[in-house]
Amino acid sequence: MAVAPDTAAELVYQIFDLQRAVRCIATASVRGQDTGVALQGVLRFVGEGEARATRLAERLGVSAPVLSRHIADLEDQGLVVRRQDPDDGRAQLVALTPLGAAKLRHIEEQRTAVLQDYLRDWSEEDAGTTAKILHKLTESLKQSARATAAGSITPTV
């Protein structure tokens, strides 16, 4: 069963509205901190495990030079380290330092507390259902994006 055009249009609107709201919350929550929203995004992806810088840039949707500047900033703060990829001497692997792992935990705990406060009038059931639906939406969009990148479908959005 396909999604109706009006429903798809409403989803697009709601997704963009959610992005704006999250961006506003994230921007407000980093005031006065040493790592801004962009650096926190890099830190989060690096926190998923050591990875090539090129792979991180791809996942974040930024150019290699932009990512390199972010990594240099995080390195200066002692939050990440770079090392040569043993499988390809031209590539670099990026990983969190223990200080970086602690910083990431602190950021995630702070974001969780802020969201809990903002959703204080929500039930646990509503929050859990929303999380499941957002996960399903995210996975569908990722699969479609991968298929588009592989050339198996033509994007229409």
The CATH classification number of 33-118 equals 1.10.10.10
pLDDT tens figures, 61-120? 889 899 999 999 999 999 999 999 888 888 889 999 999 999 999 988 888 888 899 999
Residue 155 has pLDDT above 60, yes or no: no
Q: What DSSP state is assigned to residue 90? A: E
Contact, 100 vs 46, CB < 8 A?
yes
pTM: 0.75
**Residue 77 in contact with residue 35, Cβ under 8 Å?**
yes
- Read off the amino acid at residue 100: G
Average pLDDT, the chain: 87
- pLDDT of res. 39: 85
